[in-house]
Amino acid sequence: MYGKGIFKGLSVTLNRFWTTYTEDIRWLFSGKKRYFNEDGVKARAGKDTKGIFTVQYPEERLIIPEEFRYVPFLVYDEGADGRKEVRCTSCGICSKVCPPQCIWIVRTNDPNTGRPVPQPAEFYIDADICMNCGFCAEYCPFDAIKMDHDFEIASYDRNVFNLDKLLKPAAYYESIRPLNAARENEARKAKEAAKAAKAEAA
Amino acid sequence: MATPTPTATLDLAACFPGAVSADARPGYKGWIIEKDKLVEVATAIRDELGYDHLTAVTGVDYLPEGKMEVVYNAFKTTGGPVLTFKVQVPRIDPVEVPSVTSVWPGAEFQEREAWDLMGIKFTNHPDLRRILMWEGFEGHPLRKDWKEAFYEEDAKPFKSRWPEGRHVMAEERSPFKDNITFPKDFDPEKWVPEGEEALYGALAKYQTEEDGLKTDHIVINMGPQHPSTHGVFRVALTVDGETIVSLKPVMGYLHRNHDKIGERNTFLQNMPFTDRLDYFNSMSNNFGYAVAVEKLMNIQVSERAEYIRVIMAELSRIQNHLVFIGMLGNDLGMMYTPALYAFEERELVLDIFEAASGSRMMCNYFRFGGVVRDLPEGVLQKINDLVFERLPGKVDELDRMLTENEVFISRMKGVKVIDAENAIRYSITGPVLRAAGVPYDIRRADPYSVYDRFDFDVAVRQNGDLMDNYLIRLDEVRQSLRILQQAVKQIPAGPVMPGKPQYQVRVPAGESYGRVESPKGELGYYVVSNGKPNPWRYHVRPPSFVNITALEQMCIGVKIADFIAILGVIDIVLGELDR
Ligand code: SF4
Ligand code: SF4
């Protein structure tokens, strides 16, 4: 019969249409909030999601997974007297590996001897050129540069981030990437312990 | 699908004494054909040796040796690895090589590209115009002595970044100071682009003189800004009434010379750039490049990583095909409902990509020898849920919604896209080739990674019309689900990278052509290394670009409205087509 296929197809659409209501009603009766609420967003991204799927950014936000990467930042540890202990040693690896070459580093030189000091004097990331590839964070041997989660950096000007803008505390890093940070801290501790043991043996 | 035939014994030099010699450079393979004998030998390669499908054609500029080389890769549609053969000519303009379009018409656009970017003139080519650069452009940018506007150094990393990296805005280094050369006596005020004339001149003329009335040719330009062209793609066509008489695609609006960027990059730095080719399937793009370079480096990929790669590539294929079906709906005027249903599933797949790689579309997930990181906690479970519980039902739903719809059927059935014979002649690969009745799938015909361990069928349809091109995508999604279901069950534990991650990989001198079955067809990478940290030649053979070679052939004689549907089923993506 001509038209059977059309009806079959339309029944799919109709079913979807009804489901948007039945889902909302189901959530209403279960006493949970489906919208503007983290659990609701999570459920909408789950395997059983049906009904309304859209997440209404910016009022609602998708859950950002730990590995999500956006323009990098530099990590500093808080020193005893509140000093910023920058982890970066200005070794230059990140600027060499960066595919669009958007990392610019000026190394510190000792004013007396002229020898390099493991500290960046200046550090720029041209965030408009950065392609968020994550290589810098991946290959930095000192866990000094990490990918951020803050993606809302649109502006009317050019985004060239300097050292001031790039530095963020280790606590922030731990808050956005807890599993990674824990893994790295452990590895660092193990390394230090091994070093100490070696020094003792010597 | 026939089993791949062993080809190790093939000795072309013995078959064509005096015309062919083996390529003896270390790290190279294949055959070097004398320029004057090229067409003759190519015909024999096609007819007598059975290499009926010419897949990749590209040029290499060996500047220090003073040579230009054209590299051809052909395969048999019955299966087996590719046969590589080359022609070498001295690097003195005009660099001339005979065109092989008379043997394989599918070489047309790739030869035009080699002319455009490399300046290799193909004699007897039917329509040798620029293809990616604009008409009136001076020079051939892929030549090693050509320098781009923002040129800094021949190879990255640039010395200005460290240790004295004082930031300079890219735009402050004005491109109009020393890097742009104009032709002599060039006056921009008086310059008239001549490319348009060449383009319209290339369109075939027609005459209807039966009734004695003189008719005008109507030339229609579609695009570059037209929703049905899937991006900034343009076609110029002449019509007789509503029937297409002649058609020429115009492309390159999104061209950024990916190959040149790739040759300035280090091997590793190319990985994130491949994401930007077919931006729907960055996982497949990574895959192809990793396969090509790993071949050259001769390293083993760790077991677990192989499985993760297959899982990611197949998930990518599923979301690509679902979106394809949805967008096909848009092309046919079935606005947005199927597209949005498809996007829902795609989002769930992208969630997985994001959790594993850190980005939804620009995944940059593969490394030479493995992948960046193991699947984070819970991701394998998510994949499991999707491929066992959710996606099979959703594919059925899409199937139920569209396949039997009478309006849809009458629009799609019997509108020919291409038949098997022409599909092979025109170097078409991927679903379009299989919908025409040729069961060629690289995952089976020339298996890479661990695809030989899975049980799946090569989807094939017989008619090669629009309907079959739609149905084959559904078939392929179902086959991909089969592969995925096996892969998530079999995935072994273990490391995902052999050894320590390195940012400077050592790639021995030589060449390699690595290819994978991307959702759109054969995605190939031709890489030449001279032992330095940067590739000497890096070339992408994008399926969208090569499949479009047959566009005119497909569209002559069809109605203009069908053109949109035909372009839709080829499934082009401009990031890859224009590179
Ligand atoms: S961020 Fe890391 S890789 Fe970059 S210079 Fe500093 S220490 Fe070296
Ligand atoms: S994320 Fe990639 S592009 Fe951005 S600064 Fe790091 S290495 Fe460079």
Question: Contacts of residue A9 in chain B, CB cutoff 8 Å?
Answer: 400-402, 404-405
Lowest-pLDDT range of B30-39, B159-168, B171-180, B410-419: B171-180
Lowest-pLDDT range of B73-77, B132-136, B324-328, B545-549: B132-136
| Model confidence at B3: pLDDT above 50 | no
Q: Which of B104, B81, B77, B106 minimizes the C-alpha distance to B439?
A: B77
| Model confidence at B366: pLDDT above 60 | yes
pLDDT score of B6: 46
Q: Which of A42, A51, A45 minimizes the C-alpha distance to A18?
A: A51
Q: Is the dihedral of CA A7, A9, A14, A19 positive or negative?
A: positive
- Domain chopping of chain A, boundaries: 1-62, 72-201
Most A CBs within 10 Å: which of B268, B359, B410, B500, as the mutation test of the A interface?
Answer: B359
CB of A88 sitting under 6 A from ligand 1: yes
What gap in Å lies between CA A108 and CA B80, rounded to an integer? Answer: 57
pLDDT score of B205: 67
Domains and CATH numbers, chain B: 12-123 (3.30.460.80), 258-578 (1.10.645.10)
Q: In what order do the strands lie in the sheet with A103-109?
A: A103-109, A116-126, A160-161
Helix axes B391-402, A4-30, angle to 10 degrees: 140
| Residue, of B210 and B231, whose pLDDT is higher | B231
Provide the chain B residues 109-168 that lie in CB contact (below 8 A) with chain A.
156-158, 160-167
Average pLDDT of span B305-316: 93
Q: Are B569 and B470 in contact (CB under 8 A)?
A: yes
Q: Which atom of ligand 2 is nearest to the CA of A125?
A: 5
Lowest-pLDDT range of B185-199, B382-396, B543-557: B185-199
What gap in Å lies between CA B81 and CA B448, rounded to an integer? Answer: 10
Cis bond upstream, residue B227 (ω within 30) = no
| Low-confidence spans in chain A with pLDDT less than 70 | none
CB of A92 sitting under 6 A from ligand 1: yes
Distance B286 CA to ligand 2 centre (A): 17
Tell me the two tokens of residue B313.
Answer: 């590539």
| Model confidence at B475: pLDDT above 60 | yes
pLDDT score of B535: 93
User: Tens digit of pLDDT for each residue in B425-437?
Assistant: 999 999 999 999 8
Chain centre to alpha carbon of residue B449? 19
Q: What is the DSSP string of B290-336?
A: HHHHHHHHT-PPPHHHHHHHHHHHHHHHHHHHHHHHHHHHHHTT--S
Question: Contacts of residue A13 in chain B, CB cutoff 8 Å?
Answer: 337, 401
Contact B348 A45 (CB under 8 A): yes
Interface check for A129 against chain B (CB to CB < 8 A): the answer is yes
- Which phi and psi (to 5°) does residue B88 adopt? -115, 140
Tell me the two tokens of residue B282.
Answer: 């960055």
* B507 burial level (CB within 10 Å; 0-12, 13-18, 19+): buried
ipTM given for this complex: 0.91
Q: Are B265 and B257 in contact (CB under 8 A)?
A: no
Provide the chain B residues 295-354 that lie in CB contact (below 8 A) with chain A.
337, 341, 344, 347-348, 351, 354
pLDDT score of A5: 87
Across the strands, what pairs with B511? Answer: B528
pLDDT band at B258 (very low <50, low <70, confident <90, very high): very high
Q: Are B115 and B122 in contact (CB under 8 A)?
A: yes
Contact B376 A67 (CB under 8 A): yes
Chain centre to alpha carbon of residue B113? 13
Residue with tokens 């390394």: A191
Contact A101 B158 (CB under 8 A): yes
pLDDT score of A137: 92
| Model confidence at B178: pLDDT above 70 | no
From residue B1, how far is each of A49, A123, A159, B424, B446 by CA, in Å?
Answer: 39, 57, 54, 16, 11
Question: Contacts of residue B156 in chain A, CB cutoff 8 Å?
Answer: 99, 101
* B144 burial level (CB within 10 Å; 0-12, 13-18, 19+): middle
In the Cβ-directed half-sphere of B291, how many Cα atoms lie within 13 Å?
A: 28
Average pLDDT of span B424-453: 90
pTM for this prediction = 0.89
Across the strands, what pairs with B529? Answer: B510
Protein residue with least CA distance to atom 7, ligand 2: A98
What gap in Å lies between CA A136 and CA B452, rounded to an integer? Answer: 36
Binning chain B into helix, strand and coil, the percentages to the nearest 5 are: 40, 15, 45
Average pLDDT of span B42-69: 89
Amino acid at B117: L
- According to DSSP, residue B101 is labeled T
Cis bond upstream, residue B90 (ω within 30) = no
Task: Given CATH 3.90.1150.10, say whether it is the number of domain A72-201.
Answer: no
Question: Contacts of residue A106 in chain B, CB cutoff 8 Å?
Answer: 163-166
| Model confidence at B556: pLDDT above 60 | yes
